Structure 1
């Protein structure tokens, strides 16, 4: 027995921006798994973009099973909200805590989905456009997100209604999309429960990474008043009204997040190899190595596989490593010197030997070349810190400086 109606999956074409029906999803109650099949009309039109080259290669007349996420395919799971959005959907649709993942795919709005996929109940692609709040609304948007997270009365009733109806993309913290001219940005506010100014920390870390030569998503920090503030992060899955196919690192690694039993598969070297397998250039693997090192130095231990991604670039007609995002140093002074992802086989500890052990899997010719790259990057990271960290409080800046020096010593030894 299957669901009474299938969910049709729509794709905004990378070449011309038109919406097409790329396939359909249904949940088989007997097999207790989801099944995805590419649409015959998609193949008959001569289209062959795979929405997930690792788990759903393009093949007609074939039902692809879903081994993870309780029967939801990885690419479709990527198009669902995470903890924050799910909390809103549970309230809005009275979904139980144990609701199947595909229920969140069905219940969430197409307006704010990550990437270029949408879903609906009709075979013909139909994706309504919903206007995002504009930049002048940023302060009230941030205040509304905070109020919503605290189950407080609305600051702006119409805005509250929209936020609840269109929960935003991944992560555990409150967030929403705002538009500034041609670009779309995620807004993340400071929360009264925060032990440190997390939005400012994210802005500083992303700025620091860019100054060190890494490809980090652009951020802007906005003080709001009364000690509050919000960071906005440019969405790399949008180019104006065009949406770009996007997949998480968890999808490429064929692993779940969250899920401690899957953590053994969370690996930077493995992710580098998957980048090569899907056709990304060598420079993307070396960029990933640099991000691994930067996370180690700054103390971002939330570097799990859903905080890495690839995006399909229409101009190049291939998948590329996305800009770095959600790079947030942990403000805990007693932070352990480890990362969430393995830096080499079986190792998550921050030290030079572990970081260089699998360096050739990142595209370096040999360990010596990786060692020289590492030393040069560490120099850039160290010398760009003061410029990036000037906005932090003195106490937080000193904590970060002490951590940086300790981790630099570990990676230089």
Structure 2
């Protein structure tokens, strides 16, 4: 039976403690909180489904036996790709979890094989923005590894496996006192995805949607630089880790299973889970506006891993917008990844207005939000023309779905 100890950097603290033990056998997991941590009555990431108690949680079958709140700290597509590349045998869920460096994990959880967290865990091993070109070269030639000139420390710093950004190459780097996520253009991209994402995200910021800081670095290839919003400087080069739960975890859904996606992946369910955890109404209203924005720009990759909540100042809040890219299919999407309202995936005004009470919006307020976002169409097209060149410009313009907000 594979075993991992789960460590947590406490909210608003640099202290790290062991909160429990995870064991998985043949895809079935068991998680138990540390008796010492149970005695403290401490804070836990998911008290709804994994409340603090001495009894174990057994027969966990989703996410290959890993509780969702822990799975959020495991490697995603890019990280699994790197881990598999270095492993002689196929990795199970615990293997992927343990193969991921702790300094780069999303949120405030970490993992290891010892009962107590090693000193300084999660605070070392980051690369520097000056190493960006070396990471780009590594990502571009992943099959061949690093250039011969790269030293051991550089290799360790840049082979990161767990962070925001999904299956695309990415790496967290120090940039002054900030941590930024670098997302270079993939060698397999048929168009400049970082430029498309930058144009979309910078427009969202200009219109007042909550976004992390974004920059577009044009070097060997285009690279999007995004501020890590789950970290805050803690002095002496250390960082506070902000607890984070993905929408997938809030929905208690399994990324590996496609059977129930149409039933589980629904914005109405997601916003209800946010309300259940005390996410304030203004954040839920912001989520409604983001749905309208996704329709406007044609972002059909709005799956529940691409929305999250952060635990800040003693409460859960909607995370900044991230991973928003217009589809590159050459036409506006006919559906989003998540269902919208009573009419399922239908992209229409009537569907957007069918469940507004979940967001704390009266019908008149929701109509005003839809009209506001639909009214951004001309500004968005002009913004794209300033920041994009063909073929990305034509793809972005073709993806726009303002007419669906009016339908």
**What TM-score comes out, normalization by structure 2 length?**
0.91
CA contact 1:212–1:384 (8 Å) conserved in 2: no
CA contact 1:216–1:325 (8 Å) conserved in 2: yes
Tell me how far apart the structure 2 counterparts of residues 352 and 154 of structure 1 sit (CA, whole Å): 53
Partner of 2:369: 373
Written as runs of structure 1 = structure 2, the 5 A alignment for 1:208-227 is 208-225=203-220
Gap change, CA 1:382 and 1:361, over 3 Å in 2: farther
Tell me, yes or no, if structure 1 residue 45 matches structure 2 residue 15.
Answer: no
Written as runs of structure 1 = structure 2, the 5 A alignment for 1:251-290 is 251-264=249-262, 265-290=264-289
Gap change, CA 1:345 and 1:154, over 3 Å in 2: farther
Written as runs of structure 1 = structure 2, the 5 A alignment for 1:11-410 is 11-28=8-25, 33-47=28-42, 49-96=43-90, 99-126=91-118, 127=121, 129-148=123-142, 150-151=143-144, 154=147, 156-158=149-151, 161-162=155-156, 166-170=160-164, 171-225=166-220, 228-240=221-233, 241-264=239-262, 265-313=264-312, 316-345=313-342, 347-365=344-362, 367-380=363-376, 382-387=378-383, 389-404=385-400, 407-410=401-404
Q: CA deviation at 1:381?
A: 5.3
CA contact 2:330–2:398 (8 Å) conserved in 1: no
Q: CA deviation at 1:214?
A: 1.1
Q: CA deviation at 1:156?
A: 4.6
State which drifts further: 51-60 or 200-209: 51-60
Which SS does the other structure have where 1:119 is aligned?
A: strand
Gap change, CA 1:128 and 1:274, over 3 Å in 2: closer
Deviations 1:185-226 (A, max 9, x none): 11111123211100111111111111222112221101104x
Deviations 1:136-158 (A, max 9, x none): 2222322222122x536526533
Structure 1 gaps of 5+ residues are none
Gap change, CA 1:246 and 1:286, over 3 Å in 2: same
Residue-pair matches, total: 397
Deviations 1:283-304 (A, max 9, x none): 1111111111111111111111
Structure 1 residue runs of 4+, over 6 Å off? none
**What TM-score comes out, normalization by structure 1 length?**
0.90
Tell me how far apart the structure 1 counterparts of residues 334 and 378 of structure 2 sit (CA, whole Å): 17
Deviations 1:143-183 (A, max 9, x none): 222122x5365265336632575424251111111111221
Gap change, CA 1:103 and 1:399, over 3 Å in 2: closer
CA contact 2:327–2:399 (8 Å) conserved in 1: no
Tell me how far apart the structure 2 counterparts of residues 410 and 368 of structure 1 sit (CA, whole Å): 18
RMSD: 2.1
Gap change, CA 1:311 and 1:360, over 3 Å in 2: same
